């Protein structure tokens, strides 16, 4: 950028005004001193004022550098972000996004509690034209037994079969089934994931870690496509891989009583 253009830009935005003021005073003092238009006392006072401005201008960057050094030292000492600041069961940000998302994806073992929590939001999403994809385990095969072993209750596979079927029944009653796609997994997924508009710059992906009947909330984290783009794309790609190996829901899954 040319000097005059830079000067106009700085003056228009209020940047570096103290530097221009210092330069202007120094130039004026120099001109007045050369032509003897003022006495030496005035020139001396103006010179001291100019030096004071220069000193003050020099302090700002020094303080900024010192503060930056302190912050870097604190981060190094802490070893990065604390796990408690990252892992959380809070889905507040994702919940707010579901209200106006146009693409929603869910994957989990049975998603029974999740679908019950979001059923009204899913109904509204489908009514406004959003697409919804859901992945849960296949309740008709051996996967409930695998899920029971993983949850340390190997003799109760019917728990997971019942939960998976209850999820299907909740989804079955939603409107606009042409925009609702559901598939069944032949194995237990390694994580639970919710995604809202994952292809958009401001899309969100919430991931929860699998537990083994542990008390308390499940640890998880929410990723922003704008801030953590690479990790968002990683989990979206994982969803796509799971989607490819899962089977489509049939009428026998929606209405098992009619298909003995």
211 phi/psi in degrees, rounded to 5? -115, 175
Pick from 240, 238, 241, 233: nearest CA to 201: 233
Residue 55's pLDDT is what?
59
Beta-bridge partners for 248: 183
Residue 64's pLDDT is what?
59
Residue 99's pLDDT is what?
79
**Same domain, residue pair 241 and 222:** yes
236: which 2 tokens?
């979206």
8 A C-beta contact, residue 151 and residue 213:
yes
| pLDDT values of the chain reduced to their tens digit, one per residue, 260 residues | 556 655 565 555 555 556 666 667 666 666 666 666 656 666 666 666 666 666 556 555 555 556 666 665 665 555 555 444 555 666 677 788 887 899 999 999 999 999 999 999 999 999 989 999 999 999 998 999 999 998 888 899 999 999 999 999 999 989 877 889 999 999 999 999 999 999 898 899 999 887 776 666 677 888 888 889 999 999 999 999 999 999 999 989 998 877 55
Domain count within the chain: 2
**Same domain, residue pair 109 and 25:** no
**Same domain, residue pair 168 and 191:** yes
Domain termination residue (choose one: 42, 58, 78): 78
**Same domain, residue pair 53 and 102:** no
Give this prediction's pTM.
Answer: 0.66
**Same domain, residue pair 233 and 146:** yes
CA dihedral 167, 171, 173, 178 (to 10 degrees): -160
Residue 70's pLDDT is what?
67
249 phi/psi in degrees, rounded to 5? -70, 140
Domain termination residue (choose one: 30, 61, 78): 78
Q: What is the CATH number of the domain that holds 212?
A: 3.30.870.10
**Same domain, residue pair 10 and 33:** yes
Residue 178's pLDDT is what?
80
**Same domain, residue pair 71 and 153:** no
**Same domain, residue pair 126 and 189:** yes
How would you class 207 by CB atoms within 10 Å of its CB: exposed for 0-12, middle for 13-18, buried for 19 or more?
Answer: buried
**Same domain, residue pair 139 and 214:** yes
Residue 103's pLDDT is what?
94
Domain termination residue (choose one: 62, 78, 94): 78
**Same domain, residue pair 26 and 121:** no
**Same domain, residue pair 128 and 36:** no
**Same domain, residue pair 122 and 223:** yes
How would you class 23 by CB atoms within 10 Å of its CB: exposed for 0-12, middle for 13-18, buried for 19 or more?
Answer: middle
205: which 2 tokens?
């992906």
131 phi/psi in degrees, rounded to 5? -100, 140
Give helix then strand counts, H and E, for the chain.
10, 7
DSSP-derived letter for residue 216 is: S
- Residue range(s) defining the domain that contains residue 190: 85-258
């Amino acid at each position: 950028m040319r000097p005059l253009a830079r000067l106009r830009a700085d003056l228009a935005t209020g940047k570096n005004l103290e530097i221009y003021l210092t330069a202007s005073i120094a130039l004026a003092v120099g001109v007045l001193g050369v032509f003897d238009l003022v006495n030496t006392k005035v020139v001396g006072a103006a010179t001291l004022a100019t030096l004071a401005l220069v000193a003050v201008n020099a302090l700002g960057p020094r303080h900024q550098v010192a503060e930056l050094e302190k912050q870097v030292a604190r981060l190094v000492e802490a070893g990065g972000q604390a796990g408690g600041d990252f892992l959380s069961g809070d889905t507040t940000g994702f919940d707010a996004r579901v209200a106006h998302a146009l693409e929603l994806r869910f994957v989990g073992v049975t998603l029974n509690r999740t679908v019950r929590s979001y059923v009204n939001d899913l109904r509204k999403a489908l009514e406004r034209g959003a697409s919804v994809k859901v992945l849960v385990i296949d309740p008709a095969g051996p996967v409930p037994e695998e899920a029971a072993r993983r949850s340390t209750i190997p003799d109760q596979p019917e728990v997971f079969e019942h939960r998976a079927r209850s999820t299907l029944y909740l989804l079955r009653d939603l409107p606009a089934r042409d925009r609702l796609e559901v598939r069944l997994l032949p194995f237990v997924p390694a994580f639970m994931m919710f995604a809202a508009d994952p292809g958009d710059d401001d899309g969100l992906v919430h991931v929860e870690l699998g537990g083994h009947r542990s008390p308390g909330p499940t640890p998880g984290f929410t990723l922003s496509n704008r801030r953590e783009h690479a990790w968002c794309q990683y989990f979206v790609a994982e969803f796509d891989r799971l989607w490819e190996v899962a089977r489509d829901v049939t009428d026998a899954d929606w209405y098992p009583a009619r298909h003995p």
